[in-house]
């Protein structure tokens, strides 16, 4: 391992250059106009895997391609599958970025760019950790496979079907996903639980056309007013609980031991509020901030449209209003069941004079990984070597749809080994990634395959 780690240390400048090349590609999966950039990012990733010695190719799906790569020359050794995604979130609102989102800029120890932490910097760290073995030692001590997809930010629409059709190709002993974060700076973490998601859009239709609010105000139901009242009824103002009937029926409650472990973590609540720019952290009563973010379901409006939103005044009653609403789910909630409950409840809240329709923008099941597995212990050790600090266990509030897909289709749990930080501004303007953590992540990936090979 000494010469592998020395090789990694000697190539920091090249690793940074390669990351910046990838970050300059605006691979926004939610924007149909960026399809060419999505393919460019996929081809860049394929070419990187090929250049370092893997057999790699693009696998076409019903949407954006999957990059698949493999190196299977470690006979008798286990196979480790690395997952990542080359697509990124839209950078809007652009005027809040201090520097252009697709022109990587270094300020202090951080590189600022869309996709730097989510997930280009993290998946590339794993790729480079394997490359270091190839260049310094002739190859890694175990077999490796890579799946780098282009639709994670739009809930991996086509990946489940692709994985299900390629289970033989994807056979492996371990799966590593680096698309999460450390608990805090100096506290590297293994994430053992993720929330799922059910993302809905609600459309309320009123009159056949926009109407003059003076001539028709008071005579028709205003879809914008109706939508506002519906949204206001989705939470109990006293307890903070979601009011959708049955939404808590299948929720797995925290154990006493979990709550005690969460309470031991060095959560800086004042610093958290300062970073977010808020003076209070309200939410569901009876749960700490970490418990609410990691282990409780949510229901949040992600956007509202309707009526006139341009400059100045235009006195109209809109013909239609809509809201995008995402519900984060926890074990053992079923996204299909939650979608039905949501639609049924919204219909009961609709007043006369409007009709409602729904559109689903993605669903993913929550995931919970056993914390007593040997592989998880190995991953903790690898993180401690790579980052030089003790590793803690945590859950995550976000969703990685492929975790449940891998468990269901391949029968293998995922090791969620994150290199980012909680304040990396994922999905927000000024996303960043610590270049030192990028470098530590490369070392961690090398240590991880070395440790998994020894344990076989």
3-state secondary structure 53-82: CCEEEEECCCCCCEEEEEECCCCCCCEEEE
d(CA 19, CA 17) in angstroms, rounded, equals: 5
Average pLDDT over every residue of 333-358: 98
Which pLDDT score, from 0 to 100, does residue 432 have?
98
CATH 3.40.630.10 intervals, the chain: 2-194+366-455
CATH 3.30.70.360 intervals, the chain: 196-251+297-363
CB 104 within 8 A of CB 20: yes
Beta strands in 109-260 (DSSP E): 110-112, 143-149, 174-177, 189-194, 196-205, 211-212
- pLDDT > 80? residue 456: no
Tell whether omega for the bond before 332 is within 30 degrees of 0, i.e. cis: yes
Q: Which of 24, 7, 74 is nearest to 453 (CA)?
A: 74
DSSP 8-state symbol, 153: G
Residue 159, CB-side half-sphere exposure with 13 Å CA sphere: 28
136 φ, ψ to 5°?
A: -100, -20
The CATH class of the 2-194+366-455 domain is alpha beta
Model pLDDT for residues 281-325, shown as the tens digit of each residue: 999 999 999 999 999 999 999 999 999 999 999 999 999 999 999
Q: Which residue has the higher pLDDT, 156 or 236?
A: 236
Determine the straight-line distance between the first and last CA of the chain, rounded to whole angstroms: 17
d(CA 104, CA 128) in angstroms, rounded, equals: 19
Which pLDDT score, from 0 to 100, does residue 370 have?
82
Which pLDDT score, from 0 to 100, does residue 398 have?
86
Q: Name the residues annotated as catalytic.
A: 87, 152
User: How does strand 432-434 pair with strand 110-112?
Assistant: antiparallel
Model pLDDT for residues 212-230, shown as the tens digit of each residue: 999 999 999 999 999 999 9
d(CA 420, CA 115) in angstroms, rounded, equals: 11
Q: How many helices (H) and strands (E) does the chain have?
A: 14, 18
Average pLDDT over every residue of 225-243: 98
CATH 3.20.20.70 assigned to domain 196-251+297-363? The reply is no
- pLDDT > 80? residue 124: yes
Q: Tell me the pLDDT of the chain averaged across its residues.
A: 96
Which pLDDT score, from 0 to 100, does residue 151 have?
95
Model pLDDT for residues 171-195, shown as the tens digit of each residue: 999 999 999 999 999 899 999 999 9
Residue 331 neighbours by CB distance under 10 Å: 16
Which pLDDT score, from 0 to 100, does residue 55 have?
98
Model pLDDT for residues 17-70, shown as the tens digit of each residue: 999 999 999 999 999 999 999 999 999 999 999 999 999 999 999 999 999 999
Average pLDDT over every residue of 434-440: 98
Which pLDDT score, from 0 to 100, does residue 178 have?
96
Which pLDDT score, from 0 to 100, does residue 113 have?
98
Model pLDDT for residues 366-416, shown as the tens digit of each residue: 988 888 889 999 999 999 999 999 999 999 998 888 898 999 999 998 999
Which pLDDT score, from 0 to 100, does residue 364 have?
87
Contacts with 424 (C-beta within 8 Å, 6 or more apart), sequence order: 116, 117, 118, 181, 431, 432, 433
Residue 157's pLDDT band, with cuts at 50, 70 and 90, is confident
């Amino acid at each position: 391992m000494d010469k592998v780690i020395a090789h990694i240390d000697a190539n920091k400048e090249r690793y940074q250059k390669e990351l910046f090349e990838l970050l300059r590609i605006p691979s926004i999966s939610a924007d149909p106009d960026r399809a060419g950039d999505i393919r460019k990012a996929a081809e860049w990733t394929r070419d990187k895997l090929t250049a370092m010695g893997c057999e790699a190719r693009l696998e076409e799906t019903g949407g954006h391609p999957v990059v698949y790569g493999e190196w299977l020359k470690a006979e008798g050794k286990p196979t480790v599958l690395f997952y990542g995604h080359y697509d990124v979130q839209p950078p809007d609102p652009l005027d809040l970025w201090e520097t252009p989102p697709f022109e990587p800029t270094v300020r202090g120890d951080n590189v600022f760019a869309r996709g730097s932490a989510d997930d280009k910097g993290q998946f590339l760290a794993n790729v480079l950790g394997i490359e270091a073995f190839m260049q310094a030692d002739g190859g890694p001590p175990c077999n490796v496979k890579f799946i780098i997809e282009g639709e994670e930010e739009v809930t991996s629409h086509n990946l489940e079907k692709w994985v299900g059709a390629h289970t033989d190709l994807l056979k492996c002993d371990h799966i590593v996903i680096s698309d999460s974060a450390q608990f805090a700076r100096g506290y590297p973490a293994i994430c053992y639980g993720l929330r799922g998601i059910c993302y809905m859009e609600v459309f309320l239709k009123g009159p056949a056309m926009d109407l003059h609010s003076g001539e028709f105000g008071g005579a028709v139901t205003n879809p914008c007013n109706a939508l506002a009242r519906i949204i206001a009824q989705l939470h109990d103002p006293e307890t903070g609980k979601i009011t959708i009937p049955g939404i808590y029926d299948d929720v797995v409650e925290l154990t006493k031991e979990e709550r005690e472990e969460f309470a031991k973590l060095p959560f800086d609540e004042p610093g958290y509020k300062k970073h977010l720019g808020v003076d209070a952290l309200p939410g569901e009563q009876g749960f700490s901030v970490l418990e609410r973010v990691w282990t409780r379901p949510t229901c949040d409006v992600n956007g509202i449209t309707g009526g006139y939103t341009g400059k100045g005044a235009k006195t109209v009653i809109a013909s239609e209003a809509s809201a995008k609403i995402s519900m984060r789910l926890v074990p053992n909630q079923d996204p299909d069941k939650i979608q039905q409950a949501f639609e049924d409840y919204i219909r009961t809240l609709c007043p006369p004079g409007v009709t409602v329709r729904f559109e689903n923008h993605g669903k993913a099941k929550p995931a919970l990984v056993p914390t007593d597995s040997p592989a998880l212990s190995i991953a903790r050790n690898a993180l401690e070597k790579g980052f030089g600090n003790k590793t803690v266990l945590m859950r995550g509030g976000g969703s990685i749809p492929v975790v449940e897909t891998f468990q269901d289709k391949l029968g293998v749990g995922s090791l969620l080994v994150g290199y980012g930080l909680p304040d990396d501004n994922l999905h927000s303007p000024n996303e960043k990634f610590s270049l030192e953590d990028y470098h530590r992540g490369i070392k961690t990936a090398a240590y991880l395959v070395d440790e998994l090979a020894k344990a076989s």
